[in-house]
Amino acid sequence: MTTIKGPGIFLAQFMGDTAPFHSLESICKWAASLGFTGVQIPTWDARCIDLKKAAESKTYADEIKGIVEAAGMQITELSTHLQGQLVAVHPAYDVMFDGFAPENVRGNAKARTEWAVQQLQYAAKASANLGLNAHATFSGSLLWHTVYPWPQRPAGLVETGFTELANRWKPILDVFDTNGVDLCYEIHPGEDLHDGISYEMFLEKVNNHPRACLLFDPSHFVLQCLDYLSYIDHYHERIRMFHVKDAEFNPSGKQGVYGGYQSWINRAGRFRSLGDGQVDFGAIFSKLAAYNYKGWAVMEWECAIKHPEVGAAEGAPFIKKHIIKVTDKAFDDFAGTGSDENFNRRILGINE
């Protein structure tokens, strides 16, 4: 067993234009003051990192690492959630997702996809330059508009969709493999990889690629009514990252999983600050420790009610409380009587 590392914090939801949230140096000092020991860096935010430069220059990567370490922190992982989303976009979502890409490729789906693929390749090399062994992303989606099969899906549609998705990701996974980094898909509604079954379908298409791993975030499973503890039992060997994020699901006679097009505050399922939702983190941390999870516990803050700075201040002690320092001995060792093969055979009555 391994003691989980942490607490870490994902910076994406906290970056801003005012101090201390406007630069990597100042936000790391702020996070450290709250008790966090690691930061997960969003690579689309130039205030944090120049991804291309980090991929091409070990010197620059060392400078970024030095900024974080000067604040008493470590880099947990890099994230390309927005770029990964753009590896596969159905045309129905083109206009909305164009905002994730630079202006020079907007309105050009082919150029946008090529840009996204290049970003992921940079991320693999930048992660290696920073000494990281895991990376967070989204899978993107070609099939999400068919998730509820009405009209019925034509025969072979899902097969074709996952074949194409795998064809786009397989070369990226190979680059991550070359750089010794696990690519961890956050299983998330809106992505083609949104539950265990869809992940397994993708995994089969990429020939069980050793780098096609998982970012575990229980909040998305609460909103899907999926058993997130059983999920760990099924996929613990592939879980390399962990977002500590809370959620609640309170269906009524008026709405359920789909939310009735309501804002987050008015949905039956909504994200909450740590400890304010329904996730059983005690059971999660126990399972991950028992399964020898070696990564970080990283808070991702998304709450429809609480102020983000309050959520962050509460997050570090919440994670610290749940991290289990694993034991290196059995609790009943004091009662041991010693043994050898002959002694064991005597106990079993098989000496003769």
Report the pLDDT value the prediction gives residue 345, as an integer from 0 to 100. 85
Are 191 and 215 a contacting pair, CB within 8 Å?
A: no
For residue 120, pLDDT over 70 is answered with yes
What are the tens digits of pLDDT across the range 306-322? Answer: 999 999 999 999 999 99
Are 35 and 320 a contacting pair, CB within 8 Å?
A: yes
Q: Where are the alpha helices (DSSP H) in the chain?
A: 24-34, 51-56, 58-70, 81-85, 94-97, 109-129, 157-178, 196-205, 218-222, 228-235, 281-290, 308-322, 341-348
Residue ranges of the domains in the chain? Answer: 5-348
What are the tens digits of pLDDT across the range 16-54? Answer: 999 999 999 999 999 999 999 999 999 999 999 999 999
What's 5-348's CATH class? alpha beta
What are the tens digits of pLDDT across the range 333-352? Answer: 666 777 788 888 888 889 76
Are 295 and 5 a contacting pair, CB within 8 Å?
A: yes
For residue 65, pLDDT over 70 is answered with yes
Residues 6+ positions from 11 with CB-CB distance below 8 Å: 27, 31, 39, 40, 41, 42, 45, 48
What are the tens digits of pLDDT across the range 198-218? Answer: 999 999 999 999 999 999 999
Report the pLDDT value the prediction gives residue 150, as an integer from 0 to 100. 95
Report the pLDDT value the prediction gives residue 342, as an integer from 0 to 100. 86
Q: What is the DSSP letter of 340?
A: -
What are the tens digits of pLDDT across the range 67-81? Answer: 999 999 999 999 999
